[in-house]
Amino acid sequence: MRKIILSLALLSSLTTQAQLQNWEVVPPVNPVTTLSGSFAELRRNHFHGGLDFRTGGAENKPIYAIGDGYVSRITISARSYGKLAYVTHPNGYTTLYAHLNGFVPKLDSIIKAKQYEKRSYEIDILLSPTEYPVAKGEQFAISGNTGSSGGPHLHFEVRRTDDNSLQNPLKLNKYFKIQDNKNPKILGVKLYGLNGGLINNQSEMRINTFMTKKKVKTLQNGTNINAWGEIGFSVKANDYMTGTGFTHTPRALKLYVDNKLISDIYIDNIKFSDCRALNSLIDYQQYAKNREFFMKSFRDQNNPLNIYGEAYNEGKVNINEERDYQVKYVVIDDFGHSDSISFTIHGVKAEIKPVEHDCNNFLAAGECHFFDKKNFLMYFPANATYADFEPNYEEIPTTKYYSSIFQIGEYDMPLHSFCDISLKVERDSSIKDKKKLFIAKLSKNNLIGGSAGGKYVDGFLVGKTNTFGKFAVAVDNTKPIITPVHTKGLKSYPVLVFKIADGLSGIARYDGYIDDEWVLFEHDAKTRTIRYRMDPKRVKQNQNHKFKLVVTDFCGNSSSYEKNIYW
């Protein structure tokens, strides 16, 4: 172990990196059965960053370091990854283990000390190479269901340490031994008229696939495609794996026109900061409308993903001859299994009308913009949008909120990064405490559906958003709701359990006290539940105690619950 510690101390100076598939590892769980999630699956607003190892529907399974290294970072959140550990290895890779229930006692004591020091369940701490080294195959955690997990499992990732890019863990399948003998399936294709191009005199056309009696995949019966101008394509496809009913995403997408490779996509090496750019790979409008993932074979001009191989015209085809064009899509999974579909596009001349833009509202992708409409300001960083767009702005007077209702963009338009927004506050003289104001995200029916935060500055409320839609200034004078679930019989079940909720600005913090001493409640946001397991090192047994819980929202409203408890 001393040799491991000495070598780990040199990690920060290492610049070489071994090929991932040549790394000799052990599985992070034992036994490995099947996966409930695969690498770079298409998910809501992000790529799935790794593999989801199933744990038989049970929690508290041992979690092992797949190779020598050290626990370099711990993050704990009520959402997202839940309890998450990073292990940095000397070969240039870092592995992540998420949705954990907890850690082995020595590591757990380090983490809890930090939580009590910060008086917060949610923490993000860095550890030095010598603080908690681990050997290959050493247990350091237990599996769970924390954060945004939908059931007990281990979420496992491999990243390059230098640039935090996500790597495909199935390159290590020599040691995981996941089996797969199922082919992916192409379920549909979609065509787009770009820059005025037309498909059957329309701007786009969605078509399901169809299997003939001779087991040949084609487009649905009767489909006839006439096109003219610049055309883009997308495909809807699922991958399947042996032993599980979960669906996944194919690894590679290839598009040929007249036997020429037009688009070559291989989904790997995605920087973690670019995971949200999934919304540029997919047809985001189709997803927003029908929750269907169609993967575009053409690339938006401000798409940051490094998944596109060398191909002609970035996946776009110019139909400019009155002839037949032969199109073929091929999708391939991690194990080399594939599916394909071929169809014909008839080049039929049509009148292409030039696309006109409102120069006063047109915003170019890849550039910073201050969108200033006197009562509404939105700042777009250079990476905010994937394509040029017109924001479709509208100010709607109302007496329901403390500002007009401001609509910017559409609900089916993606943003890559957060943008600053400022809303002019009306009737602010009637609001004594400006901290009670927040920027409400509104539904299409103008109902509050979320918060963009907000700080009062010179008559404006300033916040941040990574979605388009409707916004208005609202006031939150409502206290959070505390619902006791388990506060009695602590000798037989020594856990205090509460439900907490806030439907406006959202919960900012929660603080529990026993005999006036702060105690650590764990928060599960998906069930709105907080729990404190009675700790005999902090709370004396076999006596009465004074308990107090305080829950505070982002506008400073607080609720408290007090009770004498016996443990």
Identify whether the C-beta of residue 285 lies closer than 8 Å to the C-beta of residue 411. no
Q: What is the per-residue pLDDT for 220?
A: 87
Distance of CA 110 to the CA centre of its chain: 29
**Residue 150 belongs to a domain with what CATH number?**
2.70.70.10
Query: Both 122 and 14 in a single domain?
Result: yes
Query: Both 7 and 103 in a single domain?
Result: yes
The pLDDT-based confidence of 17 (bands split at 50, 70, 90) is: low
Span 538-549, pLDDT tens digits = 999 999 999 999
Given a cut of 90, whether residue 1 has pLDDT beyond it is no
**Nearest by Cα to 78 from 520, 499, 503, 523:** 523
The residue-averaged pLDDT of 175-182 equals 94
Identify whether the C-beta of residue 282 lies closer than 8 Å to the C-beta of residue 44. no
**Residue 446 belongs to a domain with what CATH number?**
2.60.220.30
Given a cut of 80, whether residue 474 has pLDDT beyond it is yes
Q: Output the DSSP codes for 80-134.
A: TTSEEEEEE-TTSEEEEEEEE-EE-HHHHHHHHHHHHHHT-S-EEEE--TTTSEE
Given a cut of 70, whether residue 2 has pLDDT beyond it is no
Given a cut of 50, whether residue 11 has pLDDT beyond it is no
- Mark 90-127 as b/e (b = at least 16 C-beta within 10 Å): bbbbbbbbbbbbbbbeebeeebeeebeeeeebeeebeb
Query: Both 23 and 158 in a single domain?
Result: yes
Q: Phi then psi for 164, rounded to 5 degrees?
A: 60, 25
The pLDDT-based confidence of 232 (bands split at 50, 70, 90) is: very high
Query: Both 321 and 373 in a single domain?
Result: no
Is 169 part of a structural domain of the chain? yes
Is 555 part of a structural domain of the chain? yes
Q: Which domain holds residue 444?
A: 369-475
Phi-psi region of 513 (alpha: psi -120 to 50; beta: other; left: phi over 0): beta
Q: What is the per-residue pLDDT for 13?
A: 36
Query: Both 124 and 206 in a single domain?
Result: no
With 0-12 CB in 10 A as exposed, 13-18 as middle and 19+ as buried, what is 233?
Answer: buried
Q: Phi then psi for 290, rounded to 5 degrees?
A: -125, 5
Query: Both 460 and 495 in a single domain?
Result: no
Q: What is the per-residue pLDDT for 155?
A: 97
Give me the number of domains the chain comprises: 4
Query: Both 205 and 309 in a single domain?
Result: yes
Q: What is the per-residue pLDDT for 451?
A: 95
Those residues whose C-beta lies under 8 Å from the C-beta of residue 56, and which sit 6 or more positions away, are 33, 152
Using a pLDDT cut of 70, give the percent of the chain over it: 96
Q: What is the per-residue pLDDT for 310?
A: 82
Is 513 part of a structural domain of the chain? yes
Given a cut of 60, whether residue 522 has pLDDT beyond it is yes
Query: Both 505 and 468 in a single domain?
Result: no
| Tokens describing residue 424 | 């002019």
Higher model confidence: residue 347 or residue 16? 347
pLDDT averaged over every residue in the chain: 93
Q: What is the per-residue pLDDT for 363?
A: 87
Q: What is the per-residue pLDDT for 391?
A: 86
Span 107-165, pLDDT tens digits = 999 999 999 999 999 999 999 999 999 999 999 999 999 999 989 999 999 999 999 99
Torsion angle (degrees, nearest 10) of CA 140, 142, 145, 146: -40
Which residue type occupies 350? Answer: A
Span 303-315, pLDDT tens digits = 999 999 987 778 8
Look-up of token digits 């856990």: 495
Distances in Å between the Cα of 163 and the Cα atoms of 67, 130, 204, 475 are 20, 23, 38, 42
Q: What is the per-residue pLDDT for 311?
A: 76
Query: Both 99 and 248 in a single domain?
Result: no
Query: Both 297 and 343 in a single domain?
Result: yes
Is 119 part of a structural domain of the chain? yes
Q: What is the pTM of this model?
A: 0.91
Span 190-207, pLDDT tens digits = 999 999 999 999 999 999
Q: What is the per-residue pLDDT for 58?
A: 94
Query: Both 24 and 134 in a single domain?
Result: yes
**Nearest by Cα to 183 from 328, 52, 332:** 332
Is 354 part of a structural domain of the chain? no
Q: What is the per-residue pLDDT for 430?
A: 79
Q: Across the strands, what pairs with 63?
A: 141
Q: What is the per-residue pLDDT for 356?
A: 76
Q: Which of 475, 504, 523 is the last residue of a domain?
A: 475
Q: What is the per-residue pLDDT for 6?
A: 39
Report the number of secondary-structure helices (H) and strands (E) in the chain: 5, 44
